[in-house]
Structure 1
Amino acid sequence: MGSAVRIARETTEQVLSEWGISWRHPAVDPALLILSELVTNSVRHAALLSPDVTVIYAAGQDTFAFAVHDRHPYRPPLFSTVTGTGGGLGTVMELTLGLGGTAVVRGDSDGQGKSIWITLPLRKDPA
């Protein structure tokens, strides 16, 4: 599990750097923590049905988005985790909403997998 999280974090750092998003930007550390939690959950809970985890990235002028995809059919209820009963997903939602971001679970068209998409605003870097 640790190597999957490390690889996902390192890849994300590289993507952010290539897209010109400073590592000092206030959204970067929370984004990396959110990503780590999602990859950990996928590896921990979906590995039996889905040995592969995929991270997808997208960015706009003022937005950074990423998704963690696996082929396990269970779609966790993200917003019920805000109450503090969701473990790692509770942390994901607290950080995402605290940054003014959004989270959504999108199922695969065949119903056998899902992606959890996180979109975070990239306000001007104060540094």
Structure 2
Amino acid sequence: MARLVLPHRHVLTMPTMPSAVRVARETAEQVLDEWGISRRHPAVDPALLILSELVTNAVRHAAAASPHVTVVYAAAKDTFAFAVHDRHPYQPALHGAGTGDRSSGLATVVELTLSLAGTAVVRQDADGGGKSIWITLPL
């Protein structure tokens, strides 16, 4: 499989606490602006919602095992991608998440991502002690 080349990249690491959600979202808005991606693009508001939900999940479910959460932002002229990484070993199943409990945050993430023709994948850390959830959206 060919790797997607995303020339723009920004990495943010912060304590796994509630303020991380706001900081991650504000940072996303800032980097999108710096990279020339319009806040009015139809994928941006859903992307910010997805990002907020993933960071919220890390704060709620991973903080005890992961004192820090890292967000990686990446983009090209036609793609915006981001990952939320924590060191909690639990690997959520994204396949089927959109078909189960509609009230779950992960179901919202999957549903929004798919509605935008994007992809969502979980990548386990090499040592099995954490994971990143990567979202890639076309622009």
Q: Structure 2-normalised TM-score?
A: 0.85
Query: Following TM superposition, by how much is the alpha carbon of 1:2 offset from its aligned partner in structure 2, in angstroms?
Result: 3.6
What is residue 77 of structure 1 aligned with on the other side? 93
Q: Distance in 1 between matches of 2:31 and 2:22?
A: 14
| 1:11-38 Cα shifts (integer Å, max 9, x gaps) | 0000100000000010000000000000
Unaligned runs of 5+ in 2: 1-16
State the distance in 2 between where 1:18 and 1:107 align. 30
Identity of aligned residues (%): 77
Q: Aligned residue for 2:51? A: 35
Higher relative strand content = 2
Alignment partner for residue 10 of structure 1, among 23, 26, 29?
A: 26
More helix, by proportion: 1
* Count of aligned positions: 122
Identify which range, 76-85 or 17-26, moves more after superposition.
Answer: 76-85
Which portions of structure 1, spanning 4 or more consecutive aligned residues, are displaced by more than 3 angstroms?
none
Q: List alignment gaps of at least 5 residues for structure 1.
A: 123-127
Partner residue, 2:106? 89
TM-score, normalised with respect to structure 1: 0.93
- The answer for the alignment partner of 2:117 in structure 1 is 100
> What RMSD, in angstroms, separates the aligned Cα atoms of the two structures?
1.0
Residue of 30, 34, 37 corresponding to 1:21 = 37
Aligned residues of 1:54 and 1:70 also touching (Cα < 8 A): yes
In structure 2, the residue matched to 1:67 is: 83
- How far apart, in 2, do the equivalents of 1:115 and 1:41 lie? 12
Contact 1:43 1:51 in 2 (8 A): no
